[in-house]
Structure formats: structure tokens, C-alpha cells
């Protein structure tokens, strides 16, 4: 299985824009609370792990159990699901370096409301004077989630050949893809995922946060100065909080040299002097593995009160979900056929992976981006 972006789909969405049925978080909690299911999962895990190690008897037991025991079949599904989550937790993410996490209750756009008055100190309240009312002026943005997923077929031939390796790719592959999906969805808010050029909806002349200079000491100083000297409508200077320099792998070593050098050379009016590096400790560096090109960004940390980006998850569906398709048909003489005998069409057991995530722009006030092309 390749680790490409999971494809969007439209299944299981109700008319009120909410998910139908039980979410993976609730289902996992229910399984943990059931002693019988826990015991069955222990047995299924033991047989599954032995089969993966090449134990011929375990392979025979596995193939027999998944075609004769509904309990084992369900328990094995839970085991595969636990492996998916374990793998998912182990895959490092990029989006958490620069985007704040949020949750939504359905698929409708969620308003991200931020009071503009929280950028400075509280007003003084004279004796016997009522407290002033906070400004009702708000910046309104929205974030919404979408579904992504794909199917995988565990073929009849693979089961006959005891090729359990095909079954292993289900949790392993989808765990990585789910994380890559989060990263890809969030990256589009920051930059073009193919060229790495700054997102021109967010980084624009209108927002006053776009430039063209290469990453060097002079241009970085100008960017930090721009971000840290913004003023509100009353003329008071605003506080962005801790800032970070975000680059892709192509600029990693350049950024490290700029930020970590002990001394730098400064030329003013034709005279060059050596000075102590003023950037040391001023900003943190985050290198995004999935950011191409030579663009660079100065933005607040993801934990800032007014983050530049948001990544959203659906409440109760925050982690990837896996299930199988029950389309095996009926016997001519009547009676159910185990799902593990494969589909009516081609004898394949179809598994489906689903992940729900979205991303949106936050506050552009304390941000700056450069395409890194000009001197």
C-alpha cells in the first residue's frame, strides 16, 4: 500500500451534517469495558502475532477462526484497529509545529471567534465607576472538516497462500496515511504543497505580510521587526508572543547558520563590521519535512493566544477508523456466509480506512512570509 493522501469520500454523512453511527472513540471504549471482548482480543492477538512470525499451526488456526467464529472475527478486527492506533501515535507529524488543534461537532463550518480587545492590557476602573464593557468587535473565520479514506482488499488467493503480510499493511499503511493527510491538509493553508510558495490568500499585500527576499540576516531582521512593531487602532504596540522561523529542508542549513552563528558581518555605508549574532534565542526554528522550495515564514508558535493556523478534528472521530465490508452473499440453500470468505463479486475481504480532518487560516496579524527568490 502506498502512503499517498487519502482520497475524500461522501459516505455516512447525515442530512444535518453529522456522522451517522458510533464513532471509533466510543467503540474502543466499549470494547475495553467488555471482559469477554478483552479476553477474545488477547486470544486473537496471540494467534495473529504467531501467524505473522511464520508459525504454520497459527496460520491454520487464524484462517479457520476468521471463517468460523464471529467472536474471533470481531476480536481480530479490534486487534488490527489497536495496531492502527499504535502506529498512528508513533508517526511524527509536521502540522503540530505551527498549527493549533481544535475540534468541531459536525461538518458545518465552525466559527473561530477571537475578541480584538484581548491584545492589550485591561482598562483602569476608577472608584465607584462601572467596569467598561469589552469590545464586541470580532474577527470571524471558519474551519470545517472533511472525510478522507480508501479501501484495501485482502484477496482469496492471499488467504489460501497464507500471505498474512497483505493483511498487515492495513493498519500500518493507513496509520501513516492518516498522519500524512493531516500534514497535507494543514500545509495547504501555509503554502502551495507542490512549489512551497506562500499561500496568497493568507500572505498578501492586503494583510501586509508578504515579501520576496531570500533568507539572510538583513531580511530576517526586517521581517521580525515588521511583526513585532504592529500597532492596534489606538496606536498601542501589540505583542505577538514567541515567534518561530519556519522553513523546508532546502533552507534548513541556511536557517541554522543565520540563527546559530556566534557572530555576523554587518555592512552599513560601505563599512563592514563584525557583531554578536542578535538572532540567537530570538526565534525558534522549525523545519517542515513536507514543505518544498525556498520560501520562509515568521509566525507565532502554535500555542500562541492568536495562532496563525488551525487544524480541526471531528469530536468522537479524532483518530482513523477501520472496518470491513459485509457483502459475501447467501448460500443457495439459505444461511449466512462468513464475511471472511470474501465478497460475492471476487472473493476479496474489503477493509476501509477513514480519517476526518480539516484546516483553516487563523490570525494574519503576527505573520510574515517570503518566497525566498529575490536578494
pLDDT digits (tens, 9 = 90+) for 258-268: 998 887 777 77
Residue-level pLDDT at 87: 75
What pLDDT shows up at residue 138?
A: 54
Residue 25 φ/ψ, nearest 5 degrees: -65, -45
Q: pLDDT class for 282, splitting at 50, 70, 90?
A: confident
Contact 300, 359 (CB under 8 A): no
- 160 pLDDT more than 90: no
Position 19 pLDDT exceeds 60: no
Give the model's pLDDT for residue 66.
Answer: 57
Q: How many CB atoms lie within 10 A of CB 225?
A: 10
For 124-148, write each residue's pLDDT tens digit: 899 989 988 766 545 678 899 999 9
Low-confidence winner among 237-246, 268-277, 287-296, 302-311 (lowest mean pLDDT): 268-277
Burial annotation 290-319 (CB, 10 A radius, 16+ → b, else e): bbbbbbbbbbbbbebebbbbbbbbbebbbb
- Among the ranges given (25-34, 127-136, 170-179), the one the predictor scored with the smallest mean pLDDT: 25-34
Banded model confidence at residue 369, pLDDT cuts 50, 70, 90: very high
Residues 344-368, mean pLDDT to the nearest whole number: 83
Cα three-residue angle 235-238-240, rounded to 5 degrees: 160
How far is Cα 173 from Cα 191, in angstroms, rounded to an integer?
26
* CA-based nearest residue to 296, from 245, 361, 226: 245
pTM above 0.85, yes or no: no
Best CA proximity match to 309, nearest among 108, 6, 96, 5? 96
| CB distance 6 to 178 below 8 Å | yes
Backbone angles phi, psi at 147, to 5 degrees: -95, 140
Question: For position 342, what pLDDT does the model report?
Answer: 45
Q: What is the mean pLDDT of the chain?
A: 78
Q: What is the pLDDT of residue 9?
A: 39
Percentage with pLDDT > 70 across the chain: 63
Q: Domain boundaries in the chain?
A: 7-107+142-185+315-358, 210-309+362-374
Which stretch of 11-20, 53-62, 128-137, 206-215 has the lowest confidence by average pLDDT?
A: 11-20
CA distance 102 to 16: 21
pLDDT band at 5 (very low <50, low <70, confident <90, very high): very low
Least confident of 41-50, 85-94, 138-147: 41-50
User: Taking 80 as the threshold, does the pLDDT of residue 289 lie above it?
Assistant: yes
Does position 159 have pLDDT exceeding 90, yes or no?
A: no
Higher per-residue confidence, 36 vs 188? 188
The pLDDT assigned to 162 comes to 58
| Residue 339 bridge partners (DSSP) | none
Report how far residue 38's alpha carbon sits from residue 32's, in angstroms, rounded to the nearest whole number: 6
Q: What is the pLDDT of residues 224-248, one digit of tens each?
A: 999 999 987 778 888 888 999 999 9
Q: From CA 311, how far away is CA 307, in angstroms rounded?
A: 11
pLDDT tier for residue 184 given thresholds of 50, 70 and 90 = very high
- pLDDT tens profile 342-351: 444 556 667 7
Q: How does pLDDT run across 69-82, given as a tens digit for each residue?
A: 555 656 666 666 66
Amino acid at each position: 500500500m502506498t502512503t499517498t493522501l487519502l482520497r475524500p469520500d461522501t459516505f455516512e454523512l447525515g442530512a444535518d451534517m453529522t456522522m451517522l453511527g458510533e464513532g471509533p472513540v466510543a467503540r474502543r471504549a466499549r470494547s475495553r469495558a467488555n471482559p469477554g471482548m478483552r479476553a477474545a482480543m488477547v486470544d486473537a492477538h496471540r494467534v495473529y502475532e504467531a501467524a505473522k512470525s511464520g508459525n504454520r499451526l497459527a496460520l491454520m488456526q487464524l484462517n479457520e477462526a476468521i471463517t468460523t467464529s464471529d467472536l474471533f472475527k470481531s476480536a481480530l478486527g479490534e486487534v488490527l484497529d489497536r495496531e492502527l492506533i499504535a502506529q498512528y501515535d508513533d508517526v511524527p507529524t509536521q502540522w503540530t509545529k505551527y498549527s493549533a488543534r481544535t475540534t468541531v461537532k459536525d461538518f458545518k463550518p465552525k466559527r473561530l471567534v477571537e475578541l480584538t480587545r484581548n491584545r492589550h492590557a485591561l482598562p483602569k476602573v476608577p472608584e465607584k465607576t462601572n467596569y467598561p464593557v469589552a469590545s464586541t468587535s470580532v474577527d470571524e473565520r471558519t474551519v470545517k472538516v472533511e472525510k478522507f479514506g480508501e479501501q484495501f482488499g485482502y484477496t482469496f488467493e492471499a488467504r489460501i497462500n497464507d500471505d498474512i503480510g497483505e493483511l498487515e499493511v492495513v493498519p500500518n499503511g493507513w496509520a501513516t496515511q492518516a498522519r500524512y493527510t493531516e500534514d497535507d491538509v494543514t500545509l495547504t493553508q501555509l503554502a502551495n504543497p507542490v512549489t512551497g510558495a506562500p499561500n496568497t490568500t493568507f500572505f498578501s499585500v492586503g494583510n501586509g505580510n508578504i515579501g520576496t527576499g531570500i533568507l539572510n540576516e538583513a531580511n530576517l531582521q526586517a521581517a521580525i521587526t515588521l511583526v513585532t512593531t504592529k500597532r492596534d487602532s489606538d496606536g498601542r504596540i501589540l505583542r505577538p508572543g514567541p515567534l518561530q522561523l519556519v522553513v523546508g529542508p532546502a533552507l534548513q542549513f541556511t536557517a541554522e547558520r543565520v540563527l546559530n552563528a556566534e557572530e555576523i558581518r554587518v555592512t552599513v555605508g560601505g563599512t563592514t563590521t563584525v557583531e554578536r549574532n542578535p538572532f540567537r534565542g530570538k526565534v525558534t526554528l522549525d523545519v517542515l519535512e513536507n514543505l518544498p522550495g525556498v520560501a520562509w515564514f515568521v509566525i507565532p508558535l502554535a500555542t500562541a493566544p492568536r495562532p496563525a493556523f488551525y487544524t480541526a478534528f471531528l469530536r468522537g472521530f479524532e483518530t482513523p477508523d477501520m472496518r470491513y465490508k459485509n457483502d459475501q452473499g447467501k448460500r443457495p440453500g439459505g444461511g449466512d456466509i462468513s464475511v471472511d470468505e470474501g465478497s460475492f463479486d471476487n472473493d476479496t475481504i474489503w477493509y476501509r480506512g477513514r480519517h476526518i480532518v480539516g484546516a483553516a487560516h487563523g490570525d494574519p496579524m503576527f505573520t510574515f512570509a517570503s518566497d525566498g527568490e529575490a536578494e
